[in-house]
Structure 1
């Protein structure tokens, strides 16, 4: 009997057409300034084999942080001058934030960049975790490391559109709740873009 590669769906999604996304996707009335300069950043969308199939590793940011306290996020951050490219940045940040070593990740590819309201152009880097690992949350920055079944995140019906006031205006955004975790904003938008690719 031929065993199906569980990562074949990810490879197919990477081969599917996509487009850049942004925090403004659901807010078409926002006028963005011409010539704006975005800071490069990258996140690691890390897949691992779980009991119920593939899972995506996420983090919960520490509640005392100045930026995005308590929010659910991918491991990742700014592209430093010492990083060769966004892929190198995502792998470095994952090792620093959750103890996932570069040697334990097979990079499958990247998807189109996501523009955030905070002025970053974030490149999602999709990677396969090769061997089981014990997460080591970075003290002071990461409160928790957990995983969510890909089957949940790949189903467009699990996404909702909500809104809240931000800088005096209503802003709409995607959410994809899972158990006690409220996944929203840029993280949910990047996941929704992946779900759309897998559903194509």
Structure 2
């Protein structure tokens, strides 16, 4: 797993473009609605203490937000004025955590993921210089934090649980807590997809081990 830290930004970009993933970690196709809305998130790589880390947020608690209080990547739904989904991810990251689009180096994107709230989400992978003076929009974001890529890739730190969704038991990805934060659901699936594209083997994730509460 330490080999992940030896990857350059160019290496990451090439792997995102060259690899045809054997699995996407998306939700089962029978649970994907035809009436989805487009969205995009920014998946930022940052270099910290000679290792790659990913930058996450914890959403602010709000009764209007179905994903209130959850760990996520900065992002949101596509605006009619956004020329493409890359623009959506950059605009939302600027609005939510204050990252200037001019400071972002786009490395590529992952295949789309679907959420239970009927969004088709495109994860836009990028590098952001670090340290960076983030400006959180506190009405939407409670906290921004990083998790080391090698910790995310360690099979001891994630597992599948069964969770009931629309009357069906669906395998849901859960990571162990990191710095008090719990990464699970769609953002966890995007994270696994990214790691898979970088060459991490997730064959141990083939079987759910328990039913989540």
Measured against the shorter chain, the TM-score band is 0.7 to 0.9
Alpha-carbon displacement from aligned partner over 1:113-158 (angstroms, at most 9, x marks no partner): 1122221111010011135311211121100010111111233443
Partner residue of 2:12?
10
Mean alpha-carbon deviation: is it higher for 7-16 or for 71-80?
7-16
1:94 is paired with a residue whose SS is: helix
Q: Which runs of 5+ in 2 are unaligned?
A: 1-5, 201-213
TM-aligned CA distance change 1:95 to 1:130, over 3 Å:
same
TM-aligned CA distance change 1:193 to 1:106, over 3 Å:
same
Contact 1:77 1:93 (C-alpha < 8 Å) held by counterparts: yes
Which aligned segments of 4 or more residues in structure 1 are displaced greater than 6 angstroms? none
Corresponding pairs, count: 191
Cα root mean square deviation, aligned: 2.1
Alpha-carbon displacement from aligned partner over 1:141-176 (angstroms, at most 9, x marks no partner): 100010111111233443211133344543320112
Q: Which runs of 5+ in 1 are unaligned?
A: none
The alignment's TM-score, normalised by the length of structure 2, stands at 0.81
The alignment's TM-score, normalised by the length of structure 1, stands at 0.85
Whether 1:111 and 2:114 are equivalent positions in the alignment is: no
Q: Distance in 2 between matches of 1:109 and 1:95?
A: 18
Whether 1:73 and 2:72 are equivalent positions in the alignment is: yes
Question: Which structure dedicates a bigger proportion of its chain to helix?
Answer: 2
Alpha-carbon displacement from aligned partner over 1:42-77 (angstroms, at most 9, x marks no partner): 000001110151111100011224221110000000
